[in-house]
Amino acid sequence: MSYEAQRAWLADDPDPQTRAELAAVLAAAQDGDTGAQEDLSDRFAGRLEFGTAGLRGALGAGPNRMNRVVVLRTAAGLTRYLQQTLGRTQVTVVIGYDARRGSDVFARDTAGVVVAAGGNALVLPGPLPTPVLAYGIRRLGADAGVMVTASHNPPQDNGYKVYLGDGSQIVSPADRDIAVAIHGFPTAASVARVEDGWTTLGDEIVQDYVDAVCRVVEPDGPRDIAIVHTALHGVGSQVFHRAFAQAGFPTPTAVPEQAQPDPTFPTVPFPNPEEPGAIDRSLDLARKSGADLVIANDPDADRCAVAVPDPRHAPADRDTRSGRRADTDHWRMLRGDEVGALIGARVLQRGVADGEVLANSIVSSRLLGAMARATGVPHTETLTGFKWISRVPHLRFGYEEALGYCVDPAAVRDKDGISAALLIAEYAAALKAAGRTLLDVLDDLAAQHGAHLTDSFSVRVDDLSVIDRIMQRLRSAPPAAIGGREVVQADDLAHGGRSLPPTEGLRYYLSDRTRIIVRPSGTEPKLKIYLEAIADTRGAAHQSLAAVRAHMEQLTAAL
């Protein structure tokens, strides 16, 4: 076997750590180590492709990994794209980074490439949440922004997220055009880079962000709420606590072992609040401290998870002052759709200006749309991802079920886990003052619009061709019934329609209004199945949802 590509990479790589890593694997492969040979094959199976999610992948040497060579080429391609499309050399790029391994190095490399090409690079003052970067792009009038983060991916990953000057993440055709520009720089040696010349921003940009997000809450609103917060070893703690203090809330209780950034994520195997067990430490602390609310951010703090005491499983005696059962041992995490409905209810309660729009992704619940129609407010559905939600004209509030909420599009045109946390905390405090809870509001919404219950599951694969095979079989032999319910409408989302551009996915509507969406993940090797049942009662909706989920799990496993 020839190892010319690997030797060429070694000669080009400016990073001594990844050079040493690759040299060791190469030596073992040449000695006949089959594991090393398979490792090399995977590292050089292709290039880490730039798309609408930017870049995301495992750290390591080779073109199919996140490393300095890949980042230098990407930064050069992005800068060239900006210069060509804007018709000027002096473009301005704001650069942020989280606390994952390599993030600060990738940020400096990006700044060095932008400056070497004749542009201006503005680097955030330290590891900070993604929403600070999204805010800074518009606040500073930049042409683009780069956030070095892998969000809630596993510890071995890192990523490179790109925003354009309106503060929104890139969409097609910008992603394809940037990818073409990247190919114009085949090696790290072909990229000009300097070691200084960029501007490192001061704390003023963070304070400006905090000032902006604090305006989402009413200055004289109730603040009596006891909160437990976890940053899941990410970069959210400092800014989260700063914002809550400035907004006048009592100091949230931090989960101490998860409060500081740690790229190894030692207490969570998968640093995503949605994953089972991820917020267990938060719930334990909430039970011990008698908290009213648990709020969890993902590692780059653009997502927000909420957990509440659930009175349905507690003793019958009610504390009339707080509106909660006296025993708070029973907690549950709200689904993203439930938090979306609660924030939507708060937004509608405050009033929406003429022409402003509520929005959610197609895989999110239909409840927000029902709420909007009942109050005469425009509502729209978008494709999955905030790159679409944030681009809705006249957006007032938008969300997706994966714990992403945009509550102040004028300041942050992206999901923001800190401003969402402020708004949900204010709502919970106002309800507590009135002797009610967030769960009471969800009950009210179910009584008015029907019980909307959502669920989802994923089929993880090692071979992406498995996903293609499942999608092809579902298209060639669509099910006539699912979970004992007739399929009354089947949509191939690849054809677009109803104001939606084409996307890979299938959508089914059943006779009892249950909806199923099947789509490949855009960032992970898995097929995602989203379910929603609507019924007059929660029990009936739950029964439908359970039956449909069981059938879909069997169906996808058989394919």
Indicate the pLDDT class of residue 320, thresholds 50, 70 and 90: very low
pLDDT of residue 326: 37
If you average pLDDT over residues 339-355, what whole number do you get? 97
Provide the strand spans (E) within 259-320.
293-297, 304-309, 318-319
**Both tokens of residue 27?**
């030596």
Q: Which of 41, 103, 151, 364 is catalytic?
A: 151
If you average pLDDT over residues 410-433, what whole number do you get? 98
Residue-wise DSSP of 67-109: SHHHHHHHHHHHHHHHHHHHT-S--EEEEEE-SSTTHHHHHHH
For the chain, which domains are there? 48-202 (3.40.120.10), 207-431 (3.40.120.10), 450-558 (3.30.310.50)
CA distances in angstroms from 177 to 72, 180, 184, 503, listed in the order given: 17, 5, 11, 19
Does residue 319 carry a pLDDT above 70? Answer: no
Alpha helices in 140-219 (DSSP H): 174-182, 204-214
pLDDT of residue 557: 86
Indicate the pLDDT class of residue 313, thresholds 50, 70 and 90: low
Per-residue pLDDT tens for 236-289?
999 999 999 999 999 999 999 999 999 999 999 899 999 999 999 999 999 999
pLDDT of residue 86: 98
Summary mean pLDDT of the chain: 94
**Both tokens of residue 337?**
């759709």
- Who has greater pLDDT, 231 or 500? 231
**Both tokens of residue 339?**
């938090």
| Paired strand residues for 157 | 58
Q: Give one word for 499, left, alpha or beta, with left for phi > 0 and alpha for psi -120 to 50.
A: left
Spatial contact of 479 and 510, defined as CB atoms under 8 Å apart: no
Does residue 99 carry a pLDDT above 50? Answer: yes
Per-residue pLDDT tens for 207-229?
999 999 999 999 999 999 999 99
Does residue 399 carry a pLDDT above 70? Answer: yes
41 assigned to active site:
no
Tell me the Cα Rg of the chain: 24
Does residue 504 carry a pLDDT above 60? Answer: yes
Indicate the pLDDT class of residue 328, thresholds 50, 70 and 90: very low
Least confident of 261-265, 307-311, 358-362: 307-311
